[in-house]
Chains A and B, each alone.
Chain A
Amino acid sequence: MNIKLKIWRQESPKAKGKFETYSLNNVSAEMSFLEMLDYLNDTLITRGEKPVAFEHDCREGICGCCSLYINGRPHGKLGRTTTCELHMREFNDGETITIEPWRAASFPVIKDLIVERNAFDKIMQAGGFISVNAGSAQDANAIPVPKNRSDEAFDAASCIGCGACVAACKNSSAMLFIAAKVSQLSLYPQGRIEAKERVKKMVAKMDELGFGGCTNTRACEAECPKGISISHIARLNREYITAKVAE
């Protein structure tokens, strides 16, 4: 198929960006979306033009590197799919595809389609862990955890840290990201010990880094490539209120 691509190009964080349009012919339906961009870059390099910078690594939907706003939606139109898992068979011959970076003040553009997401690392540093040093753990089966709680913790833990939730949110809120971690750890007995401190510190850090608040629009849940439910935000809120009341 032949397609048109409208891609955000931006030389550096401070440079002014703009859309460039490219025609790309002989795109195969079997290509993944990123393979299509590889193909575009091959074409650009051969023509002596600058390739489009975009982030990617595992190309199987688990590392969370790839991002991209595709036709106005994070990771494209399919539910529960990362950009690297999206395939060109989802597009039509002659279609124009618009590709932008994540747009959020806390995720500044570095170059073209690459943004800086280290704000997530900072939030995690504030409390996204259970304080246990290597060597001090007891036998893994010493603390039974009901299967349904453990399954729910797993669902929350499947977050890949891609930032689609922030990009999708009109407030650029990181609530789903934080909720996933707070929820996972608070569901385990070993995670309860620091639960109050954890939730307060992570939320405070999120506010400090300029992410917005949650207004229950549920865009994050709809666009999360791992399908993480906003019920985890409900748990986050409960944990937060409980912690604050206990102050």
Chain B
Amino acid sequence: MIKLDAKIPEGPLAEKWTKHKNSLKLVNPANKKKLDIIVVGTGLAGSGAASTLAELGYNVKVFCYQDTPRRAHSVAAQGGINAAKNYKNDNDSVYRLFYDMIKGGDYRAREANVYRAAEVSNLVIDHYTAMGVPFARDYGGLLDNRSFGGVQVSRTFYAKGQTGQQCLLGGYSALVRQMQTGKVTMYSRREMLDLVVIDGKARGIIARNLITGEIERYSAHAVVLATGGYGTIYYLSTLAVNSNGSAAWKAHKRGALFANPSFIQIHPTSIPVLNDFQSKLTLMSESLRNDGRVWVPKAKGDKRKPNEIPDEERDYYLERRYPAFGNLVPRDVASRAAKERCDTGYGVGDSGLSVYLDFRDAISKQGKKAIEDKYGNLFEMYEKITGESPYETPMRIYPAGHYTMGGLWVDYNLMTTIPGLFAIGESNFSDHGANRLGASSLMQCAGDGYFILPYTITDYLADEIKTPKPSTDSPEFESAQNEANEIINKLLAVNGTKTVTSFHKRLGKIMWDYCGMYRNAEGLKKALTLIDELENEFWKDVKVPGKPNELNQELEKALRVADYFELARLLCTDALNREESCGAHFREESQTETGEAKRIDSKFSYVAAWEYNGHKTTHTLHKEELKFEFVKLQERSYK
């Protein structure tokens, strides 16, 4: 029987992490050399953890499915990275960053974790700057900041619209430095297919070599997953098309609980769907809402060109509904407001499924040059995709699946319910509650990787210094490898008539329709039936060409989609269980008279951590009650 213990330290909020660090065990340098750690994923969290652990002296094996670690999807984060530096002297502080995140997450995150994420944020900025990350500077040569949604201070550090790329390349440079020293062994073009657990502890992984198709075994004293989110469960999302949830799912099947899986952020400003073969939705950074005004025509079905519609006939609906935050309301609020306008017939574009994001006023006030300096590359990106210039005509935007707040359950040490298995960055559930504020994902990922995990994993490894290098000849490795081979052979043997992508698209549509921005009990139940039917059809009629032992991209996709059916069921189950609205999770049965999300703290102030019991078998729900000692639970209002 699993008993959840979050291991949150006692004491005042601001002292918890310091006190805890002082109580963590250490491993001396000579012993570190004897210990192996596997890190899966090379985004901000993974590259940060890997290089830092190597700097400390551990032997680190790093895995990524791309050809090089520099391409992990953190690379695509645009707007920025938060820190409580208070460089703008606008009365920002660690506490305010913490408070904004707790409130932004609609009171469904742990206070202690969030405070710690805010606390280490300043170290992250210092470290990236020291590594040569080219953050934007002002004319005095010091670092510049901008504002993001859901907050009233400027605390976001940025590098034009390429902040993720620049932070990731900083992380990558530290990683290659450790590859050079030999402390990091890089295994690129490898996809993790399973977690190996021996005597109750995580001891290794099974990976597929994506070039040769070989199924390989790797062992270590501890395993760290930094494998990102599962937003591609919607098929169309802002994620890289190969991003997937399989590593986390496989860990879940081996015993790691999955927390709040239905908490998925729908990002309000993505470029809308333009064609039937569309493979992804490109994000337009939230930072654009600093200067862009969101509107739709006041009249339904107004087909005039946007610039022909005079101001008095425009509905700046965010400014109207949320005067205090206006266009800078948090993402979940902005997404639902856009969908509401489109569903009621005010949407623009051929499909009626988009709203305007207009820079006309900003350009006339600040000049084209100023806007170009801030958003030039984003405008260029938009024009390449749509063929329209945002300098001349408003952008058209629509919400898209983006970030998963849910993920593997971890305790305060970032360890899952499997001893020796850690989850960091987006792959865990811990810091964003039911909704993530902009620019806090880079912050959390880097914080986890550089400044939290290296301390907590050392505490775990202190008890492993006498453990010899785990052998890959054990029966556990053998059986995990056999299982991986079986699934592959089974997929190839179906030899049906429909492509993997066609199933993924259909699964995505079910999830978007019934487990997307608005959810209700009836729809979720229907989705569960539809997912079962689709999964049965998949295993009868999917066509995966080629052989197992070769570069086979269709097989890669098929393995990921096969896991997504199972994860999709858990998402719907979780959404069905949570009969309240909070953050990105909006249950239609639970809303205020004005259509805002209605939380039910008396019943749902807990983390829903799900235990796997077998394929198509009901999961067991474990509740971690959330205790709020330092903030008062309030209605989350941005009016």
Residues of A within 8 A of B (CB): 28, 30-32, 34-36, 38-39, 42, 45-46, 48, 50-51, 53, 55-65, 78, 80-81, 85, 87, 89, 110-111, 114, 116-118, 120-121, 124-126, 128-141, 143-147, 150, 153-154, 157-158, 160-161, 184-185, 188, 190-191
Contact = CB atoms under 8 A, between A and B. Distances in A.
Given A59-B280, A157-B169, A161-B70, 18 more contacts: A30-B274, A35-B278, A42-B501, A57-B240, A60-B283, A60-B381, A61-B381, A85-B385, A117-B68, A121-B70, A128-B176, A132-B131, A134-B48, A134-B55, A140-B85, A140-B125, A147-B137, A147-B139
A87 B271 CA distance: 15
Residues of A contacting B: mostly: loop
B27 interface: no
B166 to A, nearest CB: 6
A150 B451 contact: no
A87 B240 CA distance: 18
Contacts of A62: 75-76, 162, 164-165
Interface string B512-524: 0000000000000
B173 A120 contact: no
Interface stretch (B546-554, B583-591, B618-626): B546-554
A134 B446 CA distance: 11
B336 interface: no
A136 B131 CA distance: 11
Interface in B533-553: 543, 545-546, 550-551, 553
Most chain A CB within a 10 A radius of its CB, from B179, B499, B550: B499
B160 interface: yes
20 contacts: A38-B501, A45-B499, A50-B545, A57-B240, A58-B75, A61-B381, A62-B162, A62-B165, A64-B75, A80-B380, A85-B384, A124-B172, A133-B52, A140-B128, A141-B85, A144-B137, A150-B135, A150-B137, A154-B166, A157-B132
B71 A65 contact: yes
B141 interface: yes
Contacts of B180: 125-126
B627 interface: no
Nearest to A131: B177
Q: Which 10 A-B pairs have the closest CB atoms?
A: A144-B141, A137-B130, A129-B173, A30-B275, A140-B129, A154-B134, A137-B126, A57-B240, A125-B180, A63-B71
A144 B162 CA distance: 21
A42 B134 contact: no
Contacts, number: 214
B55 A58 contact: no
A35 B277 contact: yes
B454 A134 contact: yes
Nearest to A156: B134
B628 interface: no
Contact of B499 (A42, A140, A161, A184): A42
Contacts of B133: 157
B127 A130 contact: no
B473 interface: no
B312 interface: no
A134 B174 CA distance: 9
A141 B179 CA distance: 30
A31 B277 contact: yes
Contacts of A117: 67-68
B366 to A, nearest CB: 18
A39 B384 contact: no
A68 B279 CA distance: 18
A150 B141 CA distance: 8
Contacts of A32: 279, 385
Nearest to A152: B134
Contacts of A30: 274-275
